[in-house]
Chains A and B, each alone.
Chain A
Amino acid sequence: QSALTQPRSVSGSPGQSVTISCTGTSSDVGGYNYVSWYQQHPGKAPKLMISDVSKRPSGVPDRFSGSKSGNTASLTISGLQAEDEADYYCCSYAGTHWVFGGGTKLTVL
């Protein structure tokens, strides 16, 4: 039950695009299309941004998109805005349990 691997930090200027990767194994990310992404602002609970690899819940801007290739999932945020600055976590089903990534801090320059 090891954590998924994410870069510790990424950054971009307003209007630019950034991509956050999430690497697991064939037992989690690669084995199921149940990868989700969560945004967390300081002192707040995580908020669902992407489910089932690439589905956007109602209310989430279409600037947020998800994809997966093999054992690696990705979250892309286009047209960066100041309010996107937060921590982002990926999560995958791993057969009777769930595993999260260590998190990526997004800084909007």
Chain B
Amino acid sequence: EVQLVESGGGLVQPGGSLRLSCAASGFTFSTYWMNWVRQAPGKGPEWVANIKQDGSEKYYVDSVKGRFTISRDNAKNSLYVQMNSLRAEDTAVYYCARHDSSGTHFDYWGQGTLVTVSS
């Protein structure tokens, strides 16, 4: 059974940093593109970033470029996002999501971890 379990969320002050983790199991992690998708309270999801199987390609939504860094450790079956210079508008539930093998949609999602940016 595919499982994605996020951790690392919490309350952080504006300008602060946070690192989220996603532990994957039930599939061969190293063969899939992986994503971070966030959802602000009462809003639709927003794709944040994704990373190729070997980490050689990474893409970001414009609003986080230069502040967030996505990474992965295939030996540990884990996905990460380092979030720096956090802003109030980064407040959201952050989901780890797997691209399907064709890379055209998100077929599995974690339960999410809440990040709150507030003073």
Which chain A residues have a beta carbon within 8 Å of chain B's beta carbons? 1, 3, 34, 36, 38, 45-48, 51-52, 57, 89, 91, 93, 96-103
Residue of B nearest to A36 (CB): B105
Asked whether B59 lies within 8 Å of A89 as measured between CB atoms, the reply is no
Asked whether A100 lies within 8 Å of B46 as measured between CB atoms, the reply is yes
Q: Is B111 an interface residue (CB 8 A)?
A: yes
Contact partner of A3 (CB less than 8 A), chosen from B44, B59, B106, B112, is: B44
Contact partner of A89 (CB less than 8 A), chosen from B45, B60, B95, B100, is: B45
- On whether A51 and B44 interact (CB within 8 A), knowing A45-B109, A96-B59, the answer reads no
Number of B residues whose C-beta is below 8 Å from A?
22
- On whether A51 and B104 interact (CB within 8 A), knowing A45-B95, A45-B109, A46-B109, the answer reads yes
Which chain B residues have a beta carbon within 8 Å of chain A's beta carbons? 35, 43-47, 50, 59-62, 95, 100, 102, 104-107, 109-112
Contact partner of A48 (CB less than 8 A), chosen from B102, B107, B111, B112, is: B107
Asked whether B45 lies within 8 Å of A51 as measured between CB atoms, the reply is no
Residue of B nearest to A34 (CB): B104
Asked whether B95 lies within 8 Å of A1 as measured between CB atoms, the reply is no
- On whether A52 and B105 interact (CB within 8 A), knowing A45-B95, A45-B112, A97-B59, the answer reads yes
Q: Which 7 A-B pairs have the closest CB atoms?
A: A36-B105, A98-B47, A45-B109, A51-B105, A103-B44, A34-B104, A102-B44
